[in-house]
Structure 1
C-alpha cells in the first residue's frame, strides 16, 4: 500500500536539505565536546584574571591586579605568600611555574620574585632586571629564565645570581618588550614595540621579522607558523625574510592561542571562539562566559582550557562523550544503524538523515521517527504517526499504511519475524501483525498482556520477545504459541524498555533495573554501592565482553572481567563505570520512545540518544586521564591553633588530644570524581573515604607519635599510592608519662592494700564483736542457769539438809544412828559446797564488760549462802582494761574472794578497785582467821595452788602482787599494774611501781587493818 507524499513531508524535506547544506553560518555555541564552567565573584573566584600557570605540584596559579590566587579543583585561595614566603607586591602581572618547581611572580610596578620551598628572592634593577612592569616571564629549554619588561629584556642563567640585560648588543630594542616565545624548532622570538625579533638556534643576535610594525602577542601554530598581533588586534603570519607581497592580517582578535591538538582559539572582546571546521563555535556572554574582555588563555596538564576575563574565569573541559555536531538540535531523536556504516537519525520534526561520526549528514526519508527496525535480511522499517516505511533491497522505500483506525497514533515498537511478518505495537492502539499484506490484532493469537509492548527483540532461536508495561514479557515461538513471563520468573523491572539477545540469554532493561534471563529465571543486575541500573532503554554487549547500558542515571560500562564474575555469582555486586553530565552527556535515556536509546555503529562507536542530542563514544579509545593527582596536606589545627605542615612533621603541645587535618588532591579536570582516602596509623584500622569533604577530624587522642597518610585517585580510578604523609607527635603531660602510670599504679595498689587492711580490720573487729556478742549471750545464758540452780535446787537442798539436821539433833548423841546420819549430813554439806562452787564458777565465766561490775556480781553470789558481809569500793575514772589484763585480774580477784569466803571464817570481806592515773590497783582483805606463818611463808597449803596461780597470773601481765596475813589478823592481797599496761595510759609516775614494792609488807598490812 503506497500513497503520495503529503505537503507536510515536502516541506520537511526542504527543511532537511537546508539544514544539511554545508554553509558557514554564524558561529555556533560553545564547543559541544567541551563542558563549560564559569566562576565569578559570587563563587569566590578572582576577577580581572591576567595570567595562569601550573607547576609540577599541580596547583593552578592565577595572577590578578589585586593578588595571587591558587585553585585545587575545589576552592580558590588568595595567596599572599608561597611556601611560607610573602610576595613583594599584590599587583601581579607576570607569572611562570618553572620546571624545577619555582614560582616566578612579576609585578606591575617592577620587580620579580622567585619562590621556592627552601627560600625566596626578589630581583630589582640592582640585580640587572629591567625596570617597569613585568609583562612576561618565560623559561628557555636550557632553564634560563627570561623576563620581558617595560624597559627591556633580561635573562637569568641557571646558577647565576644576577640578570643579564639583553638589548642593542644582541639586536633588540631598548624598551617595551611584551612577550618571549621559544618555538618548537628552537628559534627564540621576542615581541616588542618595534616589531617581532627572532634568533635561530646558535645565533648570537636577533633579527627583525616581517611585518615590521609594533607586535604585542605571539602564538605558534601546529604547522610551526608564528602569528603575532599588532596594536589594532590584527593577527599576521610572521616571516623571517621579506615576503613578495606585504603581509596582510588574516584574523582579528585580541588573542590567539593553539591547544595541544593544534586547534586555534581566538579571544574577542566579548567572546571566545574555536576556529576551524566544521564551523566556528563561540562562547559568549549570552552563552555563559564569565565576563567581557577575555585576556588570557591556558591549557593545563590534564587538557582543560582556562580563560581569564575581566569578571572571572572559565574552564572548558574536554568531554569523554563527543556530541554529534549538527547545524540543528534534535527533538527526541531515534537511531538505527544504517547499511553504509552510518547511523540513521530521525525525530518528530519529520525527517530521517544518515550521519557519520564527523557530523556529516544526508537525507534518507521524509518521515517522522517514532519507531524503527532493521531485519536480519537487511530490510528497514521506520514509522511515524501517519504510516510505516519499508526500505526495499534496491534502496527504494515503500509506504505501508497503519492499521485501520490507527492513523495519528505513533508506533512504539517494530519487529520483523523470521517468516517475514511484521509485528507492530502502537501507542494507544494495541499490538498488530502484518502478514501477507493484512493487519491482524495480536496476530490472531491469544495470551498477550493488555499492557503496551514498548520494545521487541528476536532471540537466537527465532522467538519473538516483547517487553510490556506493568512488569510483563511475552514470547511468541515458532509454534505460534504465546508464553508470558512476570514476577513468578523473577522479573522485577516495572515497565520493560529494552530487550537485547546475548547468545542463548536475553538482557532486559526497565524502569526499575536491569536483568538477565537465563535458565528460565531473570537475574537482577546489581552494582557496587547499591546501583540498580534503572531506566535502561539501551543495551549493547560488545564482542570483547563489555556490557554497555544507557539509563535514567547515565551510561554504564561493565567490564568483561567484572561481568564474568557476576555471571558466575549473580548474588555479588558488579563493578562498573558511569558516564554522565560531567562526561558531556546532556539529558538521559528515553523512557518511552523512540527506542532503543543506544546503538553501535558498524565502525564500533556507540551512539547515545537523549531528549535533544546525540553523543558518541568509541569504547576502544575512551579518553583517559593518565595523571594521578598530586596529594597535599594543607593544614593542621589543634586546639584552635594552626600549625605549619611544610616540613612533613609537627610536634604539638603537651595535652593535645584533637586534630583537624586539611588535605587536597590537585586534579582540575573532574574534581567532582576525585576519590580521597586517609588513615591515621595507630588510630584507624583501615582507610577512611573522604566523601564530600577534604578534612579529617580526630578526638581523644593519647600521647604518642602518629603518621597521617592520604592518597587520591583521579576520575579514572588512577591512584597516587604514595600520596602525602604527616608525622604528628603529641608529647605526654606528667600525668600521661609511664612514671605517672607507675606512681598511679603503686598508689592504687597502696590504696587497695589500705582498703584491704581496713576491710580486714573491720571484718575482724566485726567478727570479734559478733563472737563476743555470741559469747556474752552464751555466758548470760549460763549465768541465768546458774542463778536458776542456785535459787531453786541449791536452796531446796540446803533447806532439806537443815531439816535433816534438826531431826538429827533429836537423836541421842553418841548413838550409832546419830553418827551415821552426821556423816551423811557432812557429806551432803560437802556436796552442797561443791555444787555452790560449781555454780559460782559457772556464773564467774560470764563476766560483764566492766571488771568492777563483774567482781561485784561474783562476790555477791559468793556471799549469798554465807554469813559474811561484803563491801566494795571503786575509785578513780573508770576506763576499759585491756582484754588480757581484765581476764587475769578477774581470775586473781575470784581466787582471793573464794579463799576469803571459804577458809577465812571472816565476818567482813572488802574489795577495793582503784582506776588510778598512774596505776591500776585491786585489793581484797578480810577480818578472818588469817594464815599460819608457815603457810604464808610457803605460798599456800600443800596440794593447793591458789596463791601460786595468782602470782603467775600477775607476772603474766606485768603486775605486782603482795599479800599480808597473820593468825587472827585476817588476810590482805593487793595487785598493782602500771596504767600503760592496764589501759594504755602513759605512766605519770615513772617509779611508782618501785616505790610501792619497796614499802614493807607489814606496814601495808597495818594500813589495811586501820
Structure 2
C-alpha cells in the first residue's frame, strides 16, 4: 500500500476547499462525533435498506415496500402519484441529472423526478430480475446490474443487455455492485470476478480480481478500490487503471457497506456488529485483521446506535455520515465541541492547563488525571482535587483536602498544609505581582502563602465575618480582585476598595473573573466590564438571557469565551469594542450548546472556574458530565446555504401538492396552511426561516424554526408566497422557494355580482327617495289643506263676529248722528267718521273674501300679473312685461295663491321702491318645477339688507321667504345697488301641479312627452 505521507498529501489536494477543522477530524475518535438516531417512535421507518440524497437536499430511504423522505425533522412517506404502490425496494441511486432511480427486488425500476414517477419494465427491455445497483459512466449513460441476467445499459428509452460485444461473458451471470471511480472508469463485480471499463471505452476487461458477493464498492483517497463482502470481508482489491491490489490487508467482518468520507477515513457497516471506523486505513499495510477489536473503532447499540444490524451508509452534501439500520436511522457529524477522553462517570471537574497542550483534571471520585495526546494518566495523591490555578509563570497549583500541591516535572508535588483545618478547603486561588499565592477558603477566610508560610489577610482586606470569596484574579497592574456575594474587592497594596450596586455591579454572586485587557466579571445574573470607574452590564442578542457565568476566558485578540447556563458564548473583539463604545446595545454572539457537543451545563457550586485556555490554544470547558474542548481557530463551519422546498399546502383540512405552475384552490377557502422546509441536515434544529405573502405581508415575517405558515380569510386573487432559510451558521439561501396560488372568487365575490348588488342598492335608494318624497309631498299637501280650512274658519269668524259687530255699531252711530241738527259741526264730524267706517267695512269684507277664495282664477296667473302691471305701471310710468315659457297647466289653488302673493310682493317692491323703468315677469312650466322670475332695472337692494332679511320695520322680504318655506320651494333674491334686482322662486312640480303623475312610469311618460 502507498505510504501514509503520500496519502495525506493527496487527501489535502483533493479536499483543498474543506475547512481546516475537517482535515484534522481524522484524529477524533468515533465517540467524539455528534451522534443522533431516529427510531420508529421518532417516525423513522424500520429496516432501512437503502439511502440516497438528491440535489435538493432531501434524504431518501427505502424500507420494505415503502419510500421515505427526510428533511432532518420530519419523515414523509412517498406515495406514487399514479396510485400504484412500490414493491420491495433493493437500491436507491441519484443520477447526475438529479433523478432518483429505484431498483426493486422483484425486478423493474422506477425513475422519480420532481414528484413524477416513470416506470421501466419488460416493455422497456428490463428482465424480471432483482436490480442490485446503478452507475452512470463518463458519457452520461445509465447502467443497471441485475441479480440473474447480468448488466443492462439505458439507450434512450430502452434498456439493452451488455454481453459479448462489450467483453462480458455471453452466459447470464449474477450481477453485483458497480462503481465509477474518480477517473471515470466503470468497475463491475459480476459473479465472482471484477471487470474494468476505461473512460470512453467500449469493452470491459477482466482484472483478474476474485471476490465473493460484493455488495458495495468505494475508492480511497489514494485511488485504491475497496469492496464490502457480506460473506467475506472489507478489503482493498484494485488500483487505478484496473490493476489488482497487491497486498493482503483485510477486515474479516460481515460487512454490508463501505465508504471513505471526505477526510479519508474508512467507515464499514456490518450485519450484527454495528459500525466500524478506521481513521487511517492506509496504515493497515499488509495486515490481515481478524479480530473486531483490532478493526478500528466500533460503535454499537451499547454506544447509542439504533441497531447493530447496519446496511447502507452514505455521506451527505454537508459531510454528515448516515447509516441505515434494522432499527432506524443514525447520523454522525463533526461537532464543534469535542469530548475529552476522561473516564465516564467523573464528577466535579477542577481543570488547569498544563504544558504541551496537556490538561490536568481533578474530580471528587477519581485520582488526579492528566490528558495529553488522547491519553489519560492518573496520579493518586490521596485526596480529591477541589481547586486548580495556573499562574502567569505557567505554574499549576492544585488544592486538595490534604494540602496544597504543585505540578513539577509533570508530577504533583505537595507544597504545604491547608491554612485551616477541615472542613475548610481552598475554593479560589491567584498569584499577585510579587509572586505570592492568595488562597480563599470556604469556611476559613483569606490567606497568603509566601516562603511556605500562610498569613491571614482578613484584617488587611477588611473581610467581614462569614464572607465567602468565590473568585480571584490579578490584573496586569498587579491589583488583586476578589469576588464575593453582591460585591467585588480590589486590593492594591494597603488600599482596599469595595464595589457594589452603587458602582453598577448588579450580578448577584460573583462567580468568575478575567483580568486581561479589560476586567470582566461574571455572576448569577450576567456579565459586566469595568471602565475604571464603574461596571457596565453586557446584554447579548440570544434566545436565552446570559445567566450563571461560571468562567470567562479572554483571548489575546480581545475576544471573549464565556461559559454560562445557556452554553458557551463567543463574543468577537470587534463586537465587544462596539458595545463598549455604545453602552446599552446588546452584543451579537455565537452560542455553542448541546447541539454542538456540550454534554451538560456547568456547575456554579464548585470547582470554579469551569473553563481554561490550554497552552496549544484549545479552550477546555468542564461540565457536570464531562469535559469538552474547542480550537477557536479551527471551528467546523457549514458554508452551504440550505435548499428550501415547499412540499404541501393544506386548504381547509385537505392536502394539496404544489406543481410546476400556480396552484388553484377551491372557492371560499378559509384556512390555508403552507408547509415548507430547508434541507440542512447537520443541525436542522438551528435552521431559521422568514417568509412573506405578497399583497398580505408588508414585511418579511421572522418565524424562527417554525416550518408552517398560516393564513385565513384571504380575499380572492393571485398570491405569491416566498420563504427563505438560513443554516446553523447563519448562511442564508436568499433565493428560497416560491409558491404561487390562485384563490378564485365565489359567485358573490365576482365583479358582475358586485355590479348587480350595486345597481340593486342604487334602485333601492332611489325607491326609498321616491317614497320619502311622496311622504313629504303628502305632508305638505295636508298642511296646505289645513291652512285653507283655517282661512275659511277665520273668514267665518270675522264675518259672523267682527264685521257684524262693526256694522251694528255703525248703524247705532248713524242713528245718533241723525239726532244732531243738519249743519252742526258735530253732525259734520260724525258723518265723516261714518264714511270712514263704511270704507273699513268694505275693506274688511274684501279681506274676508280673500281668505275664503283664491286671489286669481285657475290658469290666469300670468293675467293677474299683467293686470297688476297695468294698474301700478300707469301711476308710476313703469313698463311690465310678462313672459310664459312652456305650456301652462292647472296649479294647486293654494300654491297658485302663494305664488301670486310672492310675485305681487316682488312687483310691489319693483314699482314702489326700485324706481325701475322696465320690469319683467317670467313664468316657466317644465317637468321638474314651476319657476317664477321677477327682474327689474331699478336701484337694486343693498347686500346688507339681503343678508338681514330686509330693512328694519319692513316685512316684505321676510314674508316672501316664509311663504316659500311653507311651499317647500326655493327662493333666491339677487341684487346689487344701482344694478337691479332679480327674485326667483322654484316650486317642485309635485307640489305645484294639480294633476302631477303619482307613479314612476307615468312620470317617465310625462318626461318623454313633455308637459301638456
- Given the two structures, how large is their TM-score scaled by the length of structure 2? 0.74
Aligned match of 2:873: none
Q: Secondary structure at the match of 1:646?
A: coil
Aligned match of 2:842: 837
CA distance in 1, matches of 2:679, 2:710: 21
For the structure 1 residues 786 and 440, does the alpha-carbon distance in structure 2 shift closer, same or farther, using more than 3 Å as the test? Answer: farther
Q: Contact 2:47–2:328 at 8 Å: present in 1 too?
A: yes
Q: Contact 1:544–1:560 at 8 Å: present in 2 too?
A: yes
Query: Does 1:727 find its partner at 2:740?
Result: yes
Q: Contact 2:342–2:371 at 8 Å: present in 1 too?
A: no
For the structure 1 residues 238 and 555, does the alpha-carbon distance in structure 2 shift closer, same or farther, using more than 3 Å as the test? Answer: same
Query: Does 1:594 find its partner at 2:607?
Result: yes
Aligned match of 2:398: 382
Q: Contact 2:167–2:204 at 8 Å: present in 1 too?
A: yes
Aligned match of 2:61: 62
For the structure 1 residues 62 and 786, does the alpha-carbon distance in structure 2 shift closer, same or farther, using more than 3 Å as the test? Answer: same
The correspondence of residues 331-370 of structure 1 with structure 2, limited to 5 A, is 331-356=347-372, 358-363=373-378, 366=381, 368-370=384-386
CA distance in 1, matches of 2:450, 2:172: 90
For the structure 1 residues 272 and 610, does the alpha-carbon distance in structure 2 shift closer, same or farther, using more than 3 Å as the test? Answer: same
The correspondence of residues 912-951 of structure 1 with structure 2, limited to 5 A, is none
Aligned match of 1:127: 124
Q: Secondary structure at the match of 1:99?
A: coil
CA distance in 1, matches of 2:309, 2:472: 55
CA distance in 2, matches of 1:889, 1:598: 107
Q: Secondary structure at the match of 1:685?
A: coil
CA distance in 2, matches of 1:409, 1:331: 20
Query: Does 1:163 find its partner at 2:160?
Result: yes
**Cα offset, 1:713, TM superposition:** 0.8
Q: Secondary structure at the match of 2:714?
A: coil
Residues 227-270 of structure 1 deviation map (CA, whole Å, 9 limit, x = unaligned): 33545343344267789998876445454433222223333344
Query: Does 1:297 find its partner at 2:313?
Result: yes
The correspondence of residues 651-800 of structure 1 with structure 2, limited to 5 A, is 651-653=664-666, 655-656=668-669, 658-732=671-745, 736-737=749-750, 790=803, 795-796=808-809, 798-800=811-813
Aligned match of 1:33: 32
Q: Secondary structure at the match of 1:607?
A: strand
Q: Which residue, out of 419, 432, 447, partners 1:432? A: 447
Residues 512-558 of structure 1 deviation map (CA, whole Å, 9 limit, x = unaligned): 11111214222111122564311111212323343221111111122
Aligned match of 1:501: 515
Query: Does 1:261 find its partner at 2:255?
Result: no
CA distance in 2, matches of 1:768, 1:440: 119
CA distance in 1, matches of 2:472, 2:329: 49
Q: Which residue, out of 139, 144, 148, partners 2:141? A: 144
**Cα offset, 1:472, TM superposition:** 1.6
For the structure 1 residues 244 and 509, does the alpha-carbon distance in structure 2 shift closer, same or farther, using more than 3 Å as the test? Answer: closer
**Cα offset, 1:465, TM superposition:** 0.7
Aligned match of 2:177: 179
Moved more, 506-515 or 442-451: 442-451
CA distance in 2, matches of 1:591, 1:889: 104
**Cα offset, 1:384, TM superposition:** 1.5
Moved more, 535-544 or 189-198: 189-198
CA distance in 2, matches of 1:686, 1:790: 90
Residues 974-998 of structure 1 deviation map (CA, whole Å, 9 limit, x = unaligned): xxxxxx9977899xxxxxxxxxxxx
Query: Does 1:883 find its partner at 2:893?
Result: yes
CA distance in 2, matches of 1:433, 1:604: 30
CA distance in 2, matches of 1:217, 1:984: 104
The correspondence of residues 377-526 of structure 1 with structure 2, limited to 5 A, is 377-391=393-407, 397-405=413-421, 407-449=422-464, 450-469=466-485, 471-478=486-493, 480-503=494-517, 505-526=518-539
Residues 180-213 of structure 1 deviation map (CA, whole Å, 9 limit, x = unaligned): 1233455533334324444455582332544455
Q: Contact 1:801–1:828 at 8 Å: present in 2 too?
A: no
Aligned match of 1:959: none
For the structure 1 residues 586 and 791, does the alpha-carbon distance in structure 2 shift closer, same or farther, using more than 3 Å as the test? Answer: farther
**Cα offset, 1:419, TM superposition:** 2.4
Q: Which has the larger radius of gyration?
A: 1
Q: Contact 1:713–1:720 at 8 Å: present in 2 too?
A: yes
Q: Contact 2:40–2:328 at 8 Å: present in 1 too?
A: yes
CA distance in 2, matches of 1:774, 1:520: 97
CA distance in 2, matches of 1:268, 1:206: 31
Q: Secondary structure at the match of 2:575?
A: helix
For the structure 1 residues 213 and 728, does the alpha-carbon distance in structure 2 shift closer, same or farther, using more than 3 Å as the test? Answer: closer
CA distance in 1, matches of 2:62, 2:33: 25
Q: Secondary structure at the match of 1:32?
A: helix
Aligned match of 1:104: 101
**Cα offset, 1:500, TM superposition:** 0.7
For the structure 1 residues 274 and 685, does the alpha-carbon distance in structure 2 shift closer, same or farther, using more than 3 Å as the test? Answer: same
Q: Contact 2:510–2:524 at 8 Å: present in 1 too?
A: yes
CA distance in 2, matches of 1:491, 1:587: 29
Aligned residues: 826
Q: Secondary structure at the match of 1:594?
A: coil
For the structure 1 residues 607 and 845, does the alpha-carbon distance in structure 2 shift closer, same or farther, using more than 3 Å as the test? Answer: farther
Moved more, 321-330 or 683-692: 321-330
Q: Secondary structure at the match of 2:588?
A: coil
CA distance in 1, matches of 2:742, 2:782: 59
**Cα offset, 1:167, TM superposition:** 6.3
Aligned match of 2:964: none
CA distance in 1, matches of 2:427, 2:185: 64
**Cα offset, 1:440, TM superposition:** 3.6
- Given the two structures, how large is their TM-score scaled by the length of structure 1? 0.74
Q: Contact 1:499–1:506 at 8 Å: present in 2 too?
A: yes
CA distance in 2, matches of 1:548, 1:889: 100
CA distance in 1, matches of 2:559, 2:512: 17
CA RMSD, Structure 1 to Structure 2 (Å): 3.9
**Cα offset, 1:749, TM superposition:** 6.1
For the structure 1 residues 636 and 195, does the alpha-carbon distance in structure 2 shift closer, same or farther, using more than 3 Å as the test? Answer: same
For the structure 1 residues 782 and 360, does the alpha-carbon distance in structure 2 shift closer, same or farther, using more than 3 Å as the test? Answer: farther
Query: Does 1:89 find its partner at 2:86?
Result: yes
CA distance in 2, matches of 1:393, 1:38: 45
**Cα offset, 1:686, TM superposition:** 0.8
For the structure 1 residues 636 and 612, does the alpha-carbon distance in structure 2 shift closer, same or farther, using more than 3 Å as the test? Answer: closer
For the structure 1 residues 420 and 365, does the alpha-carbon distance in structure 2 shift closer, same or farther, using more than 3 Å as the test? Answer: farther
CA distance in 1, matches of 2:898, 2:184: 124
Residues 284-303 of structure 1 deviation map (CA, whole Å, 9 limit, x = unaligned): 33443323521221221112
Return 5+ residue gaps in structure 1 as ranges. 1-28, 852-879, 892-979, 987-1010
The correspondence of residues 790-869 of structure 1 with structure 2, limited to 5 A, is 790=803, 795-796=808-809, 798-805=811-818, 807-808=819-820, 816-817=823-824, 824-843=829-848, 846=851
Aligned match of 2:48: 49
Q: Contact 2:234–2:268 at 8 Å: present in 1 too?
A: no
**Cα offset, 1:215, TM superposition:** 4.3
The correspondence of residues 955-970 of structure 1 with structure 2, limited to 5 A, is none
For the structure 1 residues 532 and 312, does the alpha-carbon distance in structure 2 shift closer, same or farther, using more than 3 Å as the test? Answer: closer
**Cα offset, 1:704, TM superposition:** 2.8
The correspondence of residues 236-251 of structure 1 with structure 2, limited to 5 A, is 236-238=235-237, 250-251=252-253
Residues 834-882 of structure 1 deviation map (CA, whole Å, 9 limit, x = unaligned): 2333444455555599x9xxxxxxxxxxxxxxxxxxxxxxxxxxxx993
**Cα offset, 1:90, TM superposition:** 3.1
CA distance in 2, matches of 1:169, 1:984: 108
